[in-house]
Structures are given as structure tokens and as C-alpha cells.
Amino acid sequence: MAATSSATSSWRALYPFESRYLTLGTVRLHYVDEGAGAPLLMVHGNPTWSFYWRRLIDHFRRTHRVVAVDHIGCGLSDKPQDPAYYSLQRNTDHLVTVIDRLELRDATLVVHDWGGAIGLGAALARPARFRAFILFNTGAFPPPYIPWRIRACRIPWLGSWCIRRLNLFARAALWMAVARHDRMTPDIRAGLMAPYDSWAHRIAIDQFVRAIPRGPHHASWRILEELERNLTALSDRPCQLIWGMRDWCFRPECLERLQRIFPRAEVHRLEDASHYVVEDAYDEIVPHMERFLGELA
């Protein structure tokens, strides 16, 4: 990502981590790898990137090895213009490669939004590498509904124009995806938006929106249906569900559906948090995670 020094300086202090890269064929995937100890693998959704996890990375790198990836097309990863790079299966395969190359073992998977389907799909592919799961406002099943705000972004031609030319999807999320707007400082807004500064650099945002299946005819539907069915194989693993209850996208029925998959999961409902739950409620989240991870030690 090319960025001017002035654009970068406004948020870089919030993200003081060393950039690392893995080459996947002809593209590079960016990630951070901080600290030492039992691994935490953090997988973001759309339209965020590893910057979303910055507070948790900074806190838990004192006690854990924290790996946070940027999907291809997101964050500081390369942004190829071929839509074939952005399928759900391709993103899952990329994450499996990260797990293998970084030799992650006894890891706790930490996911949000699309990171749930991608991360849990990778966990099914490499079940021996994972010990536990922490899931934030996500899904691992065909969507029970598609909010009108998302449907509007899928209108042929117009949706892509709004997402890629006007950056409306990422811009709107800065307001619509949070409940505590006082916490979204200008520097945080700049950091969340920094990688998505041009038509070309917004391709993944658009493709993630288009990857949401409307019915069984969509390629993602079958993958998500199979994922939900197969996750019973992991249902005995320790699991923590932390949910922003004011989320209009992953509403409480998504939490309830995950509870059916992980019936023994520990659940924390955060009443004053929305979809960007880590932005809204990081100070509540850290003690929950500390205790959960402490019990795994």
C-alpha cells in the first residue's frame, strides 16, 4: 500500500508492529507476529484488517505469540485485481498455508465477521493445530438474512461503483458498525481506512460483499452449509463467544446458532457494543479473554 507520510503518521503510532510477509504464488500476504508463548491466530472480516486487532495484539503479546493476518486484498497485503483471489475457499486456503508455514500448534483462533467462516474453515482443515476458539460477531453457516444495507451494495454495477469509487461501504461502517462513537477517534478512523485508498485497493471489500450467498445457487452457500455441518467435529473444544448485542448485521440469532454448534461455549453478551465489538468494548473484552486463556494454560 502506498501512503503519504502525513496519512500514515495519523494512525501508525496505534499499530507499532513489525510487518511480515508470506509469498503465496505471485502475491504477498501481510501479517504481524508478536510475542511468544501459546499462539493466538487473529482473523479479521470486511472491511477491516489486522489494525482492528491492535489493542488485543498489544495486550496479549506480553503472554502469547499473537499472529494477525491481512487477507489478500486487505490491509497491507497485495491487492490483485483478479476476482478469483477473493473466493471464500481461496481465503480459507491462504489461511491454511499461513498456519502450516508459521507452524502454529495448540493455537487459539480469534475471529470476527468473515474471519469466522475463513478461520473455522481452516481449523477444520487443520484440527490438530487448534486448542480453542474465541468468536466475535461472526457466522459459520449460510446467512439467515442479508440486511438491506448489504443488499443495496450488491445491486449490479451501482453497488460496486458505490463501494469502489465512493468507498461508501468502509466509510459507512465507521458509523454504522459502532455503538460508542466517542471511541472512534480520527486516528482510529484513519487506520481502519488507510489501506482502502483507491478503486483498485477496494476490490476485496467489494468481493467480500459479493461472496455473501443469497441462496443455494451461490458458490459460498455450499461451503458454508458444509462448514456448519462439519463443525460438530470441533464442538468439544473450549469456545468463548463474545457478542456485541447492538449489531444489525450479525444479530443475536447468529449467536444462538453458534451456541447450537458449540453448546458448551462460554458466552458474554455486551449490551452496549455493536458489530465492531472490539472497538466498542475492548476494556470489557480483555478480562474475559485473560481468564479464558488462563484456564487453557
Cα–Cα distance list, 59 to 66, 287, 296 (Å): 10, 11, 17
pLDDT at position 3 is 41
What's 183's DSSP letter? G
The CATH code of the domain that includes 144 is 3.40.50.1820
Q: Is the peptide bond before 47 cis (omega within 30 degrees of 0)?
A: yes
230 Cβ contact partners less than 8 Å away, ≥ 6 residues apart: 124
Residue type, 77: S
**C-alpha distance from residue 244 to each of 53, 145, 167, 193 (Å):** 16, 18, 25, 22
pLDDT score at 9: 63
Q: What is the pTM of this model?
A: 0.95
| Count of other CB atoms within 10 angstroms of residue 256 | 12
As for how many domains the chain has, the answer is 1
pLDDT of 4 higher than 50: no
Alpha helices in 126-263 (DSSP H): 148-152, 158-160, 168-176, 186-193, 203-210, 219-230, 252-261
* Tens digit of each residue's pLDDT (9 = 90 or more) over 192-222: 999 999 999 999 999 999 999 989 999 999 9
**Residue ranges making up the domain that contains 203:** 5-296
Sheet holding 65-69, edge to edge: 20-24, 27-34, 65-69, 39-43, 107-113, 130-138, 239-244, 266-270
Query: Residues 236-248: pLDDT tens digits?
Result: 999 999 999 999 9
Cell of 235: 464442538
CA-angle at 296, arms to 136 and 277, nearest 5°: 15
Euclidean distance between CA atoms 174 and 188, whole angstroms: 9
Q: Which of 2-16, 101-115, 271-285 is the least confident region?
A: 2-16
